[in-house]
Amino acid sequence: MLRIRRCTYYKQYPFIDQITSLEKYTDLLKIESQFMKNKIIMIPHGSFVAYLGKDYDTKTVFPYFGNKKILEIEADRDLQNNWLVDSGLPTPRVFNNINSVDRPVIVKTYGAKGGYGYTLCPDKKKLKEAIAKFSGEKTIIQEYIVGTPVYIQFFYSPTDNKLEILGVDRRYETNVDGIGRIPQAFQKELFTNPSFTVIGNFPVVLRESLLPKIYGFGQSLVKSSQRLAPPRGLYGPFCLETVIDGEMNIYAIEISCRIVAGTNLFINGSFYSDFLYDKPVSTGRRIAMEIKNAIKKNKLNKILN
Q: Which is nearer to a copy of itself, 13 or 231 (CB)?
A: 13
Encoded one letter per residue, x for contact with a copy of itself by CB under 8 A and - for no contact, window 34-73 reads -------------x--------------------------
Q: Give whichever of 233 and 269 is closer to a copy of itself, judged by the CB atom.
A: 269
Q: Which is nearer to a copy of itself, 73 or 92 (CB)?
A: 92
Residue nearer to a copy of itself on the CB measure, 211 or 300: 211
Are 76 and 110 in contact, with CB atoms under 8 Å apart? yes
Contacts with a copy of itself by CB under 8 A: the residue count is: 89
- Rounded Cα–Cα distance for residues 139 and 117 (Å): 11
Taking the CB of residue 3, how many other CB atoms lie within 10 A of it?
Answer: 10
Integer Cα distance of 248 and 266 in angstroms: 26
CB 101 to a copy of itself: min, Å: 12
Burial classification of residue 173, based on how many CB atoms lie within 10 Å of its CB (0-12 exposed, 13-18 middle, 19 or more buried)? buried
| 64 versus 272: smaller Cβ distance to a copy of itself | 272
- Count other C-beta atoms under 10 Å from residue 84's C-beta: 23
Q: By CB under 8 A, is residue 244 in contact with a copy of itself?
A: yes
Q: Residue 98 or 211: which CB sits closer to a copy of itself?
A: 211
- Dihedrals phi, psi of 221, to nearest 5 degrees: -65, -45
- Of 29, 98, 131, 204, the residue at the interface with a copy of itself (CB under 8 A) is 204
Would you say 191 or 227 has its CB closer to a copy of itself?
Answer: 191
Among residues 36, 205, 230, 279, which is the contact residue for a copy of itself, using CB under 8 A?
Answer: 205
222 vs 237: CA distance, rounded Å? 11
Q: How far is the CB of 131 from a copy of itself (least distance, A)?
A: 17
193 cis-preceded (ω within 30 degrees of 0): no
Residues 6+ apart with CB under 8 A from 89: 217, 220, 221, 252
Residue 52 Cβ, how far from a copy of itself at the closest point, in Å? 16
* Nearer to a copy of itself among residue 96 and residue 191 (C-beta): 191
Residues within window 149-188 making contact with a copy of itself, judged by CB under 8 A: 149-150, 162-164, 168, 170, 172-188
Q: Which of 125, 130, 105, 162 shows the shortest CA–CA distance to 277?
A: 162
Q: What is 66-108 written as a DSSP string?
A: S-HHHHHHHHSHHHHHHHHHHTT-----EESSGGG--S-EEEE
| Dist CA 266 CA 94 (whole Å) | 33
Q: Of residues 123-142, which lie at the interface with a copy of itself (CB under 8 A)?
A: 123
Binding pattern for the stretch 265-284 against a copy of itself, x by CB under 8 A and - elsewhere = xxxxx-x--xxx--------
| Candidate list 54, 191, 295, 296; residue touching a copy of itself; CB under 8 A | 191
Least Å from the CB of residue 301 to a copy of itself = 27
